[in-house]
Structure 1
Amino acid sequence: MTNLVWQQMTLRTLRPSRWRGSSFLYRLLGGSLRSWRPGSWLMLQSEPLGVALVALVFALAPFSSTSLVGVLMMACGAFWLLVTVSDDSNWGFTPIHVLLLAYWGIVTVATALSPVKAQAFSGWVKLTLFLLLFALCAKILRSPRWRSWVITIYLHAALVVSVYGMRQWYFGVEALATWTDPTSEMASVTRVYSYLGNPNLLAGYLIPAVVFSLAAIFSWRGWLPKALAVVMAIVNSACLVATFSRGGWIGLLAAGFAMVLLLVYWWSVKLPPKVRPWAMPAVLGASGLVLVAAVLFVEPVRMRVASIFVGREDSSNNFRLNVWAAVLDMIRARPVLGIGPGNDAFREIYVQFARAKYQDALGAYSVLLEILVEAGAIGLLSFLWLLLVTFDRGWVALQGLRNAASREGYWLMAAISTICGLMAHGLVDTVWYRPPVQTLWWLAVAIVASYYNPPEETSFSQNSPFSPFSEFEEDERLTISN
């Protein structure tokens, strides 16, 4: 009984083929331009063009304006819609799509009922663009080759960002704002921000870069690509540490810890049976010792960690505590559906609840509080349900990939770790809502969704678009079987 409830809660029993047969939306849109597709050069090149659009988003996001990223996401959304209405054979519909559609619907209602409708509508448009980007990514990343291409492009962009950040660390750079309490021992420490203009934002951007570069060490073939992946992992990690972002460090610890646990699970089948039960406790113990040693013996780390526990004595802590107090009052005022999405709606309402001297805040400085204030308790529950289903789908797919000994499992582990890291960082900061970071969040969720195998498929097919195998891995599988 418990297992059945869990399967229903995580939508494991969802049958996309049955949905397609009974959905009015599918009958309205699915294949409405089917006859145009075979004779269209655009549709014959739909996959490379889709990859190019997505790649542009992740290649330019850290270097360009928010407006340009928005235009590119609009193009991605329009292209996804065009591809969808011209192809009724495979929408790539997954349980994650179901929860995202539900969340979007709740936010839409919150927008319609918002006390500041114009500002909430602006936030609704932004959210819709991010979800359309997810939809296109989830569709095209089912191909292992295109998945690897998009991740590789992001990693190269992140390497450029990190190299410039390390240059700031070595040569020094003037702070663009007061990011550190001027009365603290860390006041004179350089906090790098690279092209993103803010060390906390840079830290959020680099969390996925660290775990995906670790995955690339095992996924990429050849010593030269692997050496490049090692360099990426070292430079990205060093740059993230040099941001001295406490939220970023928390996110890095969460992402790194999740990645290590998943790697231990992945490799545990190769360990001797007597050693296998001790693998996970050993990793947990070693991780704890490394963390304690860093806090005790590395002075900048010790001072930065200590600042978390000094309460209002630290100006950054004091600011967040005052913002959170006002946000809780906002939630009590509209607990069910919130005030509507977006930072414009938040700032319009926040001034009515803000404490004296703390009347300007970009957001709630916590993802969960932000969702609660924007979409209410209903919206938060739907978002938490989305996280639950995403992790469940990732775990199910990872088990299948481990049994198949597919290298694609490393990208999946990195995507799951990215979600953990960005959520941990997002608990105490607001950078999750900035395009350079939120696009990476939806990329990670789309990667998890891209591994979805419908229940009616009894086994992975090599030629299936849902297959975890890459055509580049065929020789490896033949070697293993022989």
Structure 2
Amino acid sequence: LGALCAAGVGIMALGMTYSRASWIGAVVSAAVFVFLWNRKLIPGLILLGLLALPMLPDTIFNRILTIFNLKDSSTSSRFPLYQAALEMIRERPVQGAGLGTDAVRLAIKDLNLYHGTAPFVHAHNLYLQIWLETGLIGIVSYLAAMISGVKAASKAARLHCSHEVRLITIGAAAAVAGILVDCLADYLWNYPRVMVIFWFVFSVMLSGVKLARRAAAQKGEPGGPRL
């Protein structure tokens, strides 16, 4: 009951944001969770999603329809941001501009790379922002950490461990996967509290992997107590 209440509050908040990237990320999270839990349920998930579409409020359904509308103000405003970010990366691909959104903003302003109407605060894309701030080594390290972490969780989900450990590992992996998709169109780390929650979920995922491997090792199953 407590979990359902928490999920209900989260779903309500998600709907009220009208953030299309977050909605897509939530769908990806659900798909990853079902796939890791029991991939045979994927067709049922797709059918359930299609049946739920007519039940959505008109405001949310109409908002979904604008995802591929390049003339939408929210979508079109991102193109000057992405263009400025890519030009900045071309200027400093290895070293970046320095840590913090202010360092990136000032560097782009000094080079006169941004020509949009709204002020440039960040790149509106986590991957571009990390590259802008930390350079090539930073973005490669981040991508390697994310890919290896989610890959380890997906393997751990197939090991023989307790129901609780498997559920926590799969849930955290699904959440991380959804966030990574969301970050293609958003820079969530602009809010420190969201950044802390992200790394907390990532650490929960790695903890689940460690516990699953430990349980598998105790049963003599290949998987090894690594990590």
Of the candidates 362, 365, 382, which is equivalent to residue 141 of structure 2?
382
What letter matches 1:240 in structure 2?
L
Aligned to 1:159: none
Q: Residue type matched to 1:459 in 2?
A: A
| 1:364/1:370 contact within 8 Å kept | yes
Alignment partners' CA distance in 1, 2:129 and 2:67 = 21
Give 1:375 deviation, angstroms: 2.2
In structure 2, what is the equivalent of residue 301 of structure 1? 60
1:370-425 per-residue CA deviation (whole Å, 9 max, x = no partner) reads: 1222222332222111112111322333233xx13332221111111111111111
Q: Which amino acid aligns with 2:115?
A: R
Between the aligned partners of 1:319 and 1:293, the Cα distance in structure 2 is 33
Q: How many residues align?
A: 216
Are 2:14 and 1:240 equivalent residues in the alignment? yes
- SS of equivalent to 2:157: helix
Q: Secondary structure at the match of 1:442?
A: helix
Deviation at 1:434, TM superposition (A): 1.5
Cα separation, 2, equivalents of 1:458 and 1:264: 19
Distance in 1 of aligned mates of 2:116 and 2:121: 16
Shift, 1:332, TM fit: 0.9
SS in 2 for 1:407: helix
Q: Deviations over 1:311-330 (max 9, x none)?
A: 1x222112111111111111
**TM-score (structure 2 length as normaliser):** 0.83
Q: Does 1:256 align with 2:21?
A: no
1:336-359 alpha-carbon deviations (Å, 9 max, x no partner): 22112211111111222111524x
Is the partner of 1:452 in helix, strand or coil?
helix
Partner of 2:187: 430
Identify unmatched segments of 5+ residues in structure 2.
220-224
Output the aligned Cα RMSD: 2.7
1:357 aligns with 2:117: yes
Gaps of 5+ in 1: 1-226, 266-278, 462-466, 468-482
Residue matched to 1:398: 157
- Taking a change above 3 Å as real, the CA distance of residues 350 and 232 of structure 1, as seen in their structure-2 partners, is same
- Once the two structures are TM-superposed, the CA of residue 309 in structure 1 deviates from its matched residue by 1.6
CA change 1:242–1:357 in 2 (3 A) is: closer
Deviation at residue 293 of structure 1 after TM alignment: 4.4
The counterpart of 1:448, out of the listed 198, 202, 205, is: 205
Please say if residues 342 and 374 of structure 1, whose CA atoms lie closer than 8 Å, have aligned partners that are also in contact: yes
- Corresponding residue SS for 1:383: helix
- Paired with 2:150 and 2:2, the residues of 1 have a C-alpha distance of 30
* Distance in structure 2 (CA, Å) of the matches to 1:235 and 1:445: 22
Q: Rg: which structure is higher?
A: 1
Q: How does 1:75-154 map to 2 (within 5 A)?
A: none
SS in 2 for 1:335: coil
What SS does the corresponding residue of 2:3 show, helix, strand or coil?
helix
Aligned equivalents of 2:67, 2:144: Cα separation in 1: 30
Q: Which amino acid aligns with 1:441?
A: F
Change (3 A) 1:238 1:456: closer
The equivalent of 1:325 in structure 2 is 83
Separation in 2 of the partners of 1:232 and 1:435?
22
